[in-house]
Structure 1
Amino acid sequence: MTDANEARVLVHAPIGRDGPATASVLRRAGLDVQVCASIDEVLARADEGVSTLCVAEEGLFGEHLQAMAAWVACQPAWSDVPFVVLTSHLRQPAVEVWRQKMLAALRNVSLLERPVHGITLTSTVQTAVRARARQYEIRALLHARESAAAALEGIVLARTQELEAANDALRKQMKERALVEESLRHAQKMEALGQLTGGVAHDFNNLLMVISGGLQMFDRQPDQARRDRLLGAMRQAVERGAALTRQLLTFSRHQSLQAEPVDLLRQIHGMRDMLDRSLSGDIHVELRLPLSLWPVEVDANELELVILNLAVNARDAMPGGGTIEIRGENVADWAEGDLKGDFVSLSVVDSGTGMTDEVKARVFEPFFTTKDVGKGSGLGLAQAYGFARQSGGDVRIFSEVGQGTEVRLLLPRCLKPLVTQVSMDTAAVAAAGTDAHVLLVEDDDEVAALVSDMLTQLGFGSTRVASPAAALGALADGRQIDVVFSDIMMPGGMSGLMLARELRTRRSDLPIVLTTGYMGQEARAAETQGIPVLAKPYRADDLSAVLHAALAQGRGDTL
């Protein structure tokens, strides 16, 4: 259990009113906040106990960063204090170099560029506080395990002559220790989730783009049909965000699955685009699903996540490329163990490296993986097993070294009627005359539809393509394109940055603007090369400004 000091947030911003203002926002969110006047006071109070350090970057300049880095390096093994660092909008090379040095020194850092919205600040700090609370839980678990081990050793030594009593005590202590280790594994899973959340940041920002942009366009759109379409897109984005959240929660805790009748034909075929995006270009997916395949009663979102994880595992087992088959089969009157009745067999089959008997015996253990560090969490097959069992079925695995692997899900047949899906009205959108024509390169259909509407409202004409390769094809057709607006993260092996480089070779006079929901390495590389990058979510005014600036620069105008 943590004491009061270990639950507090320390704030240090030496210039202006950033410190008191930040503290006021966080206190309104119910956090225990203390403002420190100097870095020495921060370090002294942090030694007494701290949940999160919220520091303005100017408070870390010079020797202050060295002092803070030395304190970070002296933390115990279980501790990794989270920092929320408030940065300025400066982007000079020297500042960026210093920030990289600061990130390496402090290790567990979230950056927020000022001015920052109160909700963003509160959410980021609360996330850091929760992560720190899990660290304190791990500390308590480690202490409990050490105490249990010491108690066990004492009992064994004290009762050497009383073998039966000693064995009883040993079994009791082993059970207690297993509970402690299970709790520790759960805490480790939380840490793994913290690393995995960055992987879904792009998808969440795409959803936010649909919602925020749709709200901006709603009041500007007099046509009711277009308003209805905007509302429909925003609702669908909310549903997709909720589905992503449910998938993450399934990893983090034992969440009950929301079972419903599912048409496997429609569900698996509907995943085709997602599978193609998630797998490399040298992997071919074949669907072998008979039209007579029975429906099943499962959580549809969780089923998609299981199939995707199994497909990714199959891809990784075929480093030289190959074919992944997804097979379906009705199995009547199955009777084996506790499984009896009609089932549907759904298999993911690869022709990869296969598994040894030793690996097959452990594949369903959480966090067991044969992949290199950083290339797999070891949760995929364990999650598939948990999904199948909670759905009333089971998992079978068949594999031979050098012959490939088949992972077979057995899911109970559903006799309930399927839920009818209501399709959304997709009224046509009237085109408007423009002075400049934009080639929009965006793989997400909802984002593309919204941005196309934005461009129309802003007076631009637009042509949408879904990949960099299609963009190059459109330009080769001789279409009149004045500026290219492309997402950075794209499927098919060619990113938006690679497209920009190719366009500079082919059409050096053609302006290009990139956009992304994740300001990662490629976004920073684009900015370094002088390519404007618009971060998602953005406003229509931001889009207009960056496109006009790119067009003006392409013409050699002075802004």
Structure 2
Amino acid sequence: MSMIRPGNPQDERVLILAPSHRDGPTLATVLARAGLITKICGDMQELCHDLSNGAGVAVIAEESLSDPREAACLPAFLERQPPWSEPPIVVAMAPRKGHGRGSQALVDHGNLVLLERPFSSATLVSSVRSALRARRRQYQIRDHLLEHERNEARLGAKEQELRQLNETLERRVRERTAELEEVNRQLVDEIRQRQEAEQSLRHAQKMEAIGQLTGGVAHDFNNLLMVVCGGVNLLERTNDTAQRARILSGMRDAAARGEALTRQLLAFSRRTALTPEPIDLPSLLEGMRILIAGALRGDIVIDIKMAPDLWPVLTDPTQLNLVILNLAVNARDAMPDGGTLTIAATNATLEGSNRFALAGEFVRLEVRDTGVGIPPEILDRVFEPFFTTKEIGKGTGLGLSQVYGFAKQSGGHAEICSREGDGTSVILYLPRGEAVAQDNAQTQLSRSEEKGVDGPHRILLVEDNDAVAALVQEMLEGLGFAPRRVANAREALAALENDQNFDLVFSDIVMPGGMNGIELARAIKRKTPEIPVILATGYSAALRHANGVDGLQILRKPYDMDTLNTALREAWGGRESSKSITVS
């Protein structure tokens, strides 16, 4: 389900351009029945004009692009869009292979959906709704950028006012000593204004963090949608009670993870007072795994190590989320060439004789990276407010000071250890809390079982997400194939080395472990060029990059069983084999 609520009706419109007098009203009727707002445009100029005034998606018949002058109008309009805007374009193509002459002008547009006619009403409505969700996210990013600019403007005005007051302060003290009481009152007002400015800056920092997460979170949402959409497709095709139970369980897990991710994102957009409560740290970190991964890059591996008998911690969960996310972002910036982010926690009993004079039972939480480290001459200053080594516009200098203040306010302590070239560790001591009731049904992730099924068509499935892997295995088995699942590219190469009887490799593109799906495909082509490779992704940047790799088939997540079966047939079409591909 969409986590982005509809906004302005003007921005929700579906613009339709079709030269045939019948096609336009037909498309509008189908979409209107699905509850969508439509408008039929008379020509390409009207379409571009309406897009500039606000619209969700444009549905264009390919015949509308047959005139070169008309076809050039839309790409020129798209080139003038601001950085946040990439209007979705759905092109209804004539039934043929490849791009038509008209749609070729839009092939470089990153938000293009091609529907080959004839297509069903459900396909059209699903494609348009998916495009609308993407457009709503763009409008949300636009709103965040505007809010960020307004915050900066307000902050700049306050800083300018402070500068003017400071310039006149000494003169007023010298010339009007008799008005000392009035000057003191002004100083109190200045302190209050500075505190308000700092609060606004912290709020802007939260919004910036959410903006950085958008691309990665979209990838994870597509994985969750893949489980739900594919599960619905499978439920329509099977009456097996056990299989339906497994599919429904995976769909429930995906919905729960999507709900948890949305709850985490909303927490960063609110101001909350520090409200300590007992927290089960392993459950919290497992729930944050998607959020942390979205803040990192694909070349950074997350390693969470929790002591088996770990105590609960007594602190504010929202602030703890923010602290862990800030430390993860700092670790990402310290590892420009990739590495490992380790989050470890153990129990610690302190007797008060330590250097920070703490006594009692604490949980020692360590966030460690393998990055460039911190020079010793500035190590003692990293917890100071507004101290930063990042470029202007890349950091505020409040992240680590917030970490230190959070630990102190929680009744614990924070320290940092680092050596140049050998990474950095930030260690928090948080007080022990009372026992927390665990809800295993919500905190444990669903795990797929590897199946060693022998069959005429063996497929090596490479997918790091357990829920997506379980769903795709069910889809492949439903199509009559025998999948074997591995979690990353290195395991896939090892499996191919030990077993030469795989008929095809089906891999995700974005994966941890230092090797993505594109690099895996190239390695397979070098060693065993006779094995076809199909790649899948829900991450738009990875999809654009993969489209430049020759000879590879790309599936966009989420996909259904028909799309998957078609891709398998096409992959085998260029390979000589005596085996026939059938759908059970």
Q: TM-score, normalised by structure 2?
A: 0.69
CA distance in 2, matches of 1:200, 1:435: 38
Aligned residue number for residue 504 of structure 1: 525
Matches of 2:130 and 2:483, distance apart in 1: 33
Please tell me whether the aligned partners of residues 243 and 301 of structure 1 are also in contact (alpha carbons under 8 angstroms): no
C-alpha contact 1:388 1:410 (8 A) present in aligned 2: yes
Pick the aligned partner of 1:421 from 440, 443, 460: 440
Q: Any stretches of 5+ residues in structure 2 without a counterpart?
A: 1-7, 116-123
* Structure 1 residue 520 corresponds to structure 2 residue 546: no
d(CA) in 2 for partners of 1:418 and 1:331?
Answer: 23
Query: Is 1:547 aligned to 2:557, yes or no?
Result: no
Stretches of structure 1 that go unaligned for 5 or more consecutive residues are 1-5, 73-78, 104-109
Deviations 1:14-37 (A, max 9, x none): 545499959x979978x9x99987
- Could you list the per-position Cα deviations for residues 85-124 of structure 1 after superposition, in whole angstroms to 9, with x for gaps in the alignment? 4243777599899658878xxxxxx666674645434434
Which one-letter code corresponds to 1:343 in the other structure?
F
Deviations 1:233-274 (A, max 9, x none): 222222222232233334333357997755557887999999
The reply to whether residue 328 of structure 1 matches residue 346 of structure 2 is: yes
Partner of 1:120: 130
Where 2:464 maps in the other structure, the secondary structure is: coil
Could you tell me how far 1:431 is from its partner in structure 2? 8.3
Cα shift readout 1:203-262 (whole Å, capped 9, x = no counterpart): 221121122222222343433333322222222222222232233334333357997755
Aligned to 2:72: 62
Question: What are the equivalent positions in structure 2 for 1:84-233 lying under 5 Å apart?
Answer: 84-88=87-91, 92=99, 115=124, 117=126, 118-138=128-148, 140-141=150-151, 144=154, 160=172, 162=176, 164=180, 165=182, 168-169=185-186, 172=189, 175-176=192-193, 179=196, 182-183=199-200, 186-187=203-204, 189-233=206-250
Q: Are 1:467 and 2:488 matched, yes or no?
A: yes
Q: CA RMSD in A?
A: 5.6
Match of 2:363 in 1: 344
Counterpart-to-counterpart distance in 2, 1:153 and 1:266: 47
Q: 1:121 to 1:148 in 2, by over 3 A?
A: same
Matches within 5 A, 1:227-306: 227-254=244-271, 261=278, 293-297=310-314
Q: How does 1:7-86 map to 2 (within 5 A)?
A: 9=11, 15=18, 17=24, 21=28, 61-62=71-72, 82=85, 84-86=87-89
Aligned to 2:426: 407
CA distance in 2, matches of 1:124, 1:320: 29
Q: 2:462 matched to which residue of 1?
A: 441
> What SS does the aligned partner of 1:520 have?
helix
> Residues 43-84 of structure 1, C-alpha deviation per residue, up to 9 Å, x if partnerless?
99999xx677866787985367657867x6xxxxxx977452
- 1: distance between equivalents of 2:324 and 2:547? 35
> TM-score, normalization: structure 1?
0.72
Q: Percent identity?
A: 35
Contact 1:12 1:39 in 2 (8 A): no
Change (3 A) 1:353 1:418: same
Given the superposition, is the C-alpha separation of residues 517 and 122 from structure 1 closer, same or farther in structure 2, using an over 3 Å criterion? Answer: closer
How many Å separate the matches in 2 of 1:200 and 1:209?
14
* Contact residue 313 and residue 432 of structure 2 kept, 8 A: yes
**In structure 2, what is the Cα distance between the partners aligned to 1:384 and 1:399?**
16
Partner of 2:262, secondary structure, is helix
Instruction: State the 1:446 CA deviation.
Output: 1.9
Aligned to 2:381: 361
Structure-1 separation of matches of 2:398 and 2:114: 34
Output the CA distance in 2 between the equivalents of 1:144 and 1:325.
Answer: 37
Question: For 1:231, what is the secondary structure of its paired residue?
Answer: helix
Change in CA separation of 1:83 and 1:525 when aligned onto 2, cut-off 3 Å:
closer
Give the aligned partner of residue 530 of structure 1.
551
Following TM superposition, by how much is the alpha carbon of 1:348 offset from its aligned partner in structure 2, in angstroms?
A: 3.5
Seen in structure 2, the aligned counterparts of structure 1 residues 528 and 187 have a Cα distance that, compared at 3 Å, is same
Aligned to 1:76: none
In structure 2, the CA distance between the partners of 1:279 and 1:261, relative to structure 1 (3 Å rule), is farther
**In 2, Cα distance between the equivalents of 1:124 and 1:491?**
25
Query: 1:187 & 1:305 partners in 2: Cα distance?
Result: 13
Cα deviation for residue 459 of structure 1 reads 0.8
> For residues 461-488 of structure 1, what are the alpha-carbon distances to aligned partners after superposition, in whole Å with 9 as ceiling and x for unaligned?
1222222222222222244211211111
Distance 1:303 1:82, change over 3 A: same
In structure 2, relative to structure 1, the CA distance for the partners of 1:132 and 1:341 (3 Å cut) is: same
Distance 2:300 2:198 in 1: 41
Secondary structure in 2 matching 1:396: strand
Contact kept? 1:486, 1:515, Cα under 8 Å: yes
Change (3 A) 1:212 1:328: same
Q: How many residues align?
A: 535
CA–CA separation in structure 1 for the residues paired with 2:196 and 2:40? 40
Letter in 2 for 1:296: V
Q: Compared with structure 1, are the counterparts of its residues 510 and 305 closer, same or farther at alpha carbon in structure 2 (3 Å cutoff)? A: farther
